[in-house]
Structures are given as structure tokens and as C-alpha cells.
Structure 1
Amino acid sequence: MSSALMLDVRTITKSVATQEGALDILRPISLQVMAGESLAITGASGSGKSTLLGILAGLDIPSSGEVYLNGHCLTDLDEEGRAQVRAENVGFIFQSFQLLPGLTALENVMLPLELRGDKQAKTLAMKFLRHVGLEKRMQHYPQQLSGGEQQRVAIARAFASQPKTLFADEPTGNLDSHTGEKIIDLLFELNREQGTTLILITHEERLASLCQRRIELSAGEIISAKDI
């Protein structure tokens, strides 16, 4: 594993205004993740996990504090700058899939590769769709796929980009146990073979236990942090 620092989070908070006043979603949080590490973020619903993941990935900005991703200070950049950093460094697996309905499974996986000018886009996309067991569904549109199949397309898309850091929000949440096991194996294969930094939210104990480190959130604070 590399000793380079991939993620450096410095005393971030997140508050939103409500009719009753400011609501603190994240209280001061600091953490560091080295390149190639795997980190599980756990905690009950409403503990701030998804908000934290979004800030770490540069999809959102904190109310205070700083986030450095692969040396880039996300909190100093505008949305265009953060989008550029994400394009160069980050892959996502969302709970809501984020597939484009007018594109086939294959085209959805190819799109980010084509946008960055990858001449092997189709080959890579087909390879990772086969990896997730969708070799017979490549020409289907999202509405023709089950929820679990759509999740697998989203996972193939994230893997095909071969990102430096992969952020995953409940990556096995919509999958049956057999497919979930295959996806878990894929996640850690990517982490191990390509040195991809893996940061994931999960309620699944087996998935959390496979990560090298684990933090638990409660009411927007880290209440425990341990190496596994």
C-alpha cells in the first residue's frame, strides 16, 4: 500500500438553516485516508454518513473546515474545479444508480470513458459488465432492468473508470446475497490490484469487517474509529 495521503479532512462541519434555527448535520470531523486504504463508514440512519461521503467526494462543501483530495483543496474550488478533480480522481456507486434512461447498459458504462477520451471505452465497458454478470443485458435500457441489475450497471461504470478513489453508498443494498458477495469481491479486488482507495457506507457487517479501517458516526460525530 502506498504511503501517500489521498484524503485529508480538517475539522469540517455541516449546518443547514431551518425554521427552528441552524441544524448541525456534521459536528467537527477530522480524518485522514492513505492511498490504497479501505474505510467503512457506519452508523444509524440520520447519523450524517451520506452527507459526510458527499463532502469527501467533492459533491458538497462543508460549512467550515477543509477537505484535500489527492492534494487538491476541494473547499477552495468552485463547482467547475471540483468537477474536474472528481473526473480525474473519483468513482461513485450511488444507492439511486444515476443511470441515463436513454442509454443502454453498455452505453451508460461507456459514457464516462468516452468523455475522457478513452479509445478502449467499449472494450473496458464490456469487460466490467461481464464482471458483474450482465453479459446478456448489455443492450437493455435501465427501465428494462431490475433494481439489482441497475445497481450492477452503476457498479460496472464506477469500476470501468479505474478511479484513484471509489466512493460507495450502500453498494450491496439493492442486491441479492449471491450478487452482493460477487460485488464485495470485486470491490476489494479493485482495491487490492489497482491500489484504489475505497471509502464506503454500509450497514452490512461483513462488508465493513473487510475494510482496513472503520469509523462509526452518531449525530454527526465520529464516536469510534478503529483499525480492523
Structure 2
Amino acid sequence: MSDSFSSETILQVHELQKTVPTSDGELTILTSVNLEIKKGRTVAITGVSGSGKTTLLSLLAGLDTPSSGSICLDGQRISDLDEDGRAAVRQQRVGFVFQSFHLLPHLSALENVMLPLELAGERDAHGIATGLLQRVGLEHRVKHLPKHLSGGEQQRVAIARAFATSPDILFADEPTGNLDMHNSARIADLLFTMNRERGTTLVLVTHDMQLAGRCQDVYTMENGHLRLRERS
């Protein structure tokens, strides 16, 4: 893969490597990963537990740094930035949905969605957050704390929060992993519908092949290597 960056490309990864120290020496988690994602695409990364897919997602989102190789987000080489620089990129360009929701327990549903807007200096944080919670069907739960919401409701709050700042790219790590079948289907529908409505690029990690199959591109992690699955 070349280092040139197309205007249609939002994410480009070149020869990515991640190793971590252990008591037995260095452990290689990712080996020579190359990836290019076009704007507006939906992409799934699958693989068994321990294959490196969540590590890869953390690197792509700027939550961690690679041992070697490069990551460019919309032309900006985020793998060269320090933590403050990566945090600024995440705040301005990136949305997240996690398996365990990651809502702040002392804030209401509305306040959780307002928080990234307030951090971004949005003057109408209340109005935007209220509208997003209506969009995910939780207008009647805006004042509830996370502990008073079901798992499916918490994930809907998390999705509303993820889209609050109109990110260019949204990363989802096992977004339905903690939910029952009914709520999993509802959350998946909501995630893909809102992603399509807002023109966001979606990159999700999942072991659920049915969920992965809804994406335009499906990759598999195997022993630290990434490969594109051929469509049948």
C-alpha cells in the first residue's frame, strides 16, 4: 500500500505492528496490518477472542499507539501524535460505541449525551442531545441514570452520544455483545440506520457473523494478521 492518500479514503493503515512486553519476552499482537477504508463504508472486523481485533480497533481510533507502522485518518497521521494530539482528533472526528456502554453512572441519559457536545463548545448541547435521545426512542428516559436503564436502553444512549458531535468515523466494539437477541437486533438496526442517515464511516469489531454480514466489507483477524473475506 502506498503512502499517498486519496480524498475518498478516510482511514489508511500501513505495515502496522503491535508488540507488548511480557514476563516471557515480547508478545506480537499485530503483524504487518494494511488496511484502507473509503469514506461512508461499513466495515466489520471479525475473529476469535485473542486474535487482535480489539487491539487493532484501539489503534485505529487513536486510543493506543502502534509499535511500528502508520495510521492516517483523513490524511492526518495520527500514529505520530502524542496523547493530547490524539485526544483532540478523537474529540473532533471520532465516535465510539462499546460493549459495556461506558456511560458515566452519575450523569443522566441526557447529561451523558450532552457531555461530548459541551466539551466541544456546542452552545445548544441540550437541544441536540434531546433530539438524539428522541431519535433513539428514549425521550421518556432522559432524566434516568444508567443504573435505572436496561442494557438495550443504555446502548441506545451510547449510540446517541456517539453521533452527538457528528463524527466522520464511528468505531463500535462488540456493540451487541452484552444484549439479548431482541435488543441486539434493535441496536444493530439503529446503528446502521443512523450511520446511513448521517453519512458516517462505520468500523465495528464483532464475533457475530450475522451482524458482520450487514457490513459492506468484512475482514478477519487471525493470529495478528488481517485479511479481507471474500463474499460468497
TM-score band w.r.t. shorter chain: over 0.9
Name structure 1 gaps, 5 residues minimum. Answer: none
Corresponding position of 1:86? 90
Q: 2:171 & 2:118 partners in 1: Cα distance?
A: 21
Name structure 2 gaps, 5 residues minimum. Answer: 1-5
Deviation at 1:91, TM superposition (A): 0.1
Corresponding position of 1:188? 192
- Paired residue total: 227
1:4 matches 2:8:
yes
CA deviation string 1:97-120 (max 9, x = no partner): 221122111100011011112233
Scaled by the length of structure 1, what TM-score is found? Answer: 0.93
* Structure 2 SS opposite 1:6: strand
Corresponding position of 1:138? 142
Contact 1:6 1:34 (8 Å CA) reproduced: yes
Deviation at 1:222, TM superposition (A): 1.5
Contact 1:41 1:216 (8 Å CA) reproduced: yes
Contact 1:68 1:74 (8 Å CA) reproduced: yes
The residue correspondences of 1:23-172 to structure 2 (distance < 5 A) are 23-172=27-176
Q: Closer, same or farther in 2 for the Cα pair 1:26/1:113, shift >3 Å?
A: same
Contact 1:212 1:227 (8 Å CA) reproduced: no
CA deviation string 1:112-153 (max 9, x = no partner): 011112233222212222233322221111222233322221
CA deviation string 1:68-93 (max 9, x = no partner): 01111111110000111111110000
Contact 1:43 1:216 (8 Å CA) reproduced: yes
Runs (4+) of structure 1 exceeding 6 A deviation are none
Q: Closer, same or farther in 2 for the Cα pair 1:173/1:130, shift >3 Å?
A: farther
Scaled by the length of structure 2, what TM-score is found? Answer: 0.91
What amino acid is aligned across from residue 208 of structure 1 in structure 2? A
Q: 2:150 & 2:33 partners in 1: Cα distance?
A: 37
What amino acid is aligned across from residue 59 of structure 1 in structure 2? L
